[in-house]
Amino acid sequence: MTRLSRREPRSRSLRRTPAVFLSMVLAVTAAPSPATASPAAVKAPDLGTNVTVFDPSMPVSSIQAKLDATYAAQVDNEMGTSRFAFLFKPGTYGTAEQPLQVKVGYYTEISGLGANPGDVVINGKVEAYNRCLSSDPANPNCIALVNFWRTVSNLTVNINGAGQDGCRQTANFWAVSQAVSLRRVEFTGGTLSLMDYCTAGPQYASGGFIADSKLPATTNGSQQQWLTRNSSVASWSNAVWNQVFSGVDGAPDDSAFPDPPYTTLAKTPVSREKPFLFVDSRGKYQVRVPAAARNTSGTSWNAKSGKVLPLSDFYVAKPGDSVAKINLALALGKHLLLTPGVYDIARSIQVTRPNTVVLGIGHATLTAVNGATPLDLADVPGVIVAGVTIDAGTEESPVLLRVGRGKGVTSPSNPTTLSDVYFRVGGPHIGKTNIALEVNSDDVLIDHTWVWRGDHGVEGFTQGVNGDTDRWRTNTGRYGAVINGDDVTATGLFVEHFQKYNTVWNGERGTTVLYQNELPYDPPTQADWMNGSTLGYAGYKVGNRVRQHRLYGAGVYVFNQNNPSIHTANGFEVPSTPGVELHHIMTVNLSAGVIDHVVNGVGAAADTTKVGQPVFVTSY
């Protein structure tokens, strides 16, 4: 590892750089040293037109108007290309009489710029409500099932519902589903509800992830599955199918599983908190990069481990920047900050140096062009990719994100880490890939991902002229996550709708804490959904040669709406050996199709006589 970390001084690299690249190199490396910058000389970095930085001296009414206008544009913009980040400098926003009430729509990030969550206080709310999908007043179909792709982090919310209707005044509503991250947040002065019970039903919600946060009394409501990691909670009420707590102070006891269906781990086996932007006491922008840790519980706010990087150490990319320029900056030792927007990637962004940070803000999105692999990481320790969405393009990619080739040097104490990295195959346009996420390196941490082959999207693209049958042929993704490396840990692994195995885990000593899967909705016939002579593909497959694997809190759901007669033999398929342990697993029928067994022929069928009723296996 020492050999890999040693690099020649940058001045030598510059002397050897060909002259044709010299102007590009100077553009990348010309930022002033933080040691020589004075407070008077500090100015805000250029983070692009889709980043707004608020200061506590700004009128509350102006901030509210800006946020409301963006929400109005984004509340229904599920498959759009607009991306936004709203960053709050340290201070207090809103008052008891004039609270700041933030509603968070698609592709929107709300983040504090303090060193700690208490440095930015919002007197008011930061909320997500049900989205009403019908204009029929008698049946508005208000749900949170499609409330994806939004982020809140690094602030304190002093809950104040002044001016809201009576139903909403005392709780902060966070009705969301997959690809939604809430990190480093404290709620005070009220309760937190993960269900919006103030709009017309059915009010369903499916998904969710909270980490490194301090939660008040929390109502789960209709949330079907949820992971809370390394946090504290005053109390937790209700559960639907699968509620997992890992390293959470105050988490409910799980000894009565499956009634209620809680899964509680006292410690998180491997964790690393997501890097974040902050402004130091001199007004300079920095990025804190927390260190990895093992067997932890509670928040990390007081931890001093890790490092702080000046933003001048980052190449700040904007949509339209060439991959050649980005790769040159990475090769020269820069980290990468992706500002909000959609980036067309026709050749791989290549991360080859250990400890490189790739941080996206405002749901920066990399879209494959001409069958490219948008992001390719070398087998080196300590690489971090966070806050990035990767989309398949219209020509098939072999893989969308490749982590290593399985031939390098890695580090158990410094794992390559993927935090809030999301994948889409279809949705905004036709998408094609063989594999979405491929992990070949050892010692990798996956901390919250949604790997999604689109079950809905822009009309005429993912659904096609012949509906679901056409989508099965044109919007193609065979495998969601393929894990070949050893000692890989996943906390919050959501993988859905792929056409063969959604997850294949071939590496030894893997650990997953919360797994959520829906099998594909759209196989046209049983013949299209066969694995040799086996009926279909399990939602979670552990390789036949694996001897040690652990899975905690997992669900596989079936909804074969295109052909309800289709069967899948097993939700989970694993080798029968003492070192492979599955804890608190289940299958659920969502009203079409059948999963015959939970795991390896064990467990009753999830069929249409049990719609919405999990079939549990406590341990296998």
Catalytic residue positions, numbered: 518
Q: 441 near 418, Cβ under 8 Å?
A: no
Q: How far apart are CA 461 and CA 479, in angstroms?
A: 20
Q: What are phi and psi of 288, to 5 degrees?
A: -85, 130
Do you find a cis peptide bond into 258, omega within 30 degrees of 0? yes
As separate numbers, helices (DSSP H) first and strands (DSSP E) second, the chain gives: 6, 46
Tell me which residue has tokens 């082959």.
453
Q: How far apart are CA 555 and CA 516, in angstroms?
A: 5
Q: 502 near 425, Cβ under 8 Å?
A: no
Q: What are phi and psi of 468, to 5 degrees?
A: -65, -35
Q: How far apart are CA 411 and CA 15, in angstroms?
A: 32
* Burial (CB count within 10 angstroms: exposed 0-12, middle 13-18, buried 19+), residue 620: middle
Q: How far apart are CA 266 and CA 253, in angstroms?
A: 10
Tell me which residue has tokens 């390394």.
230
What is the longest distance spanned by two Cα atoms in the chain?
A: 73
Residue 154 is inside which H or E element, if any?
Answer: strand 150-159
The strand pairing partners of 368, in sequence order, are: 345
Task: Give whole-number Cα distances, 354 to 295, 347, 348, in Å.
Answer: 24, 21, 17
Tell me which residue has tokens 């804890």.
583
Q: How far apart are CA 617 and CA 603, in angstroms?
A: 7
Q: Could you tell me which of 315, 325, 277 has the C-alpha nearest to residue 114?
A: 277
Tell me which residue has tokens 């970390």.
5
Q: How far apart are CA 582 and CA 595, in angstroms?
A: 18
Q: How far apart are CA 483 and CA 276, in angstroms?
A: 27
267-302 in b/e form (b: 16+ CB < 10 A) is ebbbbbbbbbbbbeeeebbbbbbbbbbeebbbbbbe
- Here the tokens at position 301 are 């706010």
Neighbour tally for 527: CB within 10 Å: 8
Q: 343 near 364, Cβ under 8 Å?
A: yes
Contacting residues for 281 by C-beta, under 8 A, at least 6 apart: none
Query: At residue 73, what is the residue type?
Result: A
- Here the tokens at position 216 are 């008040």
Q: 462 near 454, Cβ under 8 Å?
A: yes
Q: What are phi and psi of 170, to 5 degrees?
A: -100, -5
Q: How far apart are CA 368 and CA 416, in angstroms?
A: 22
Q: How far apart are CA 219 and CA 235, in angstroms?
A: 8
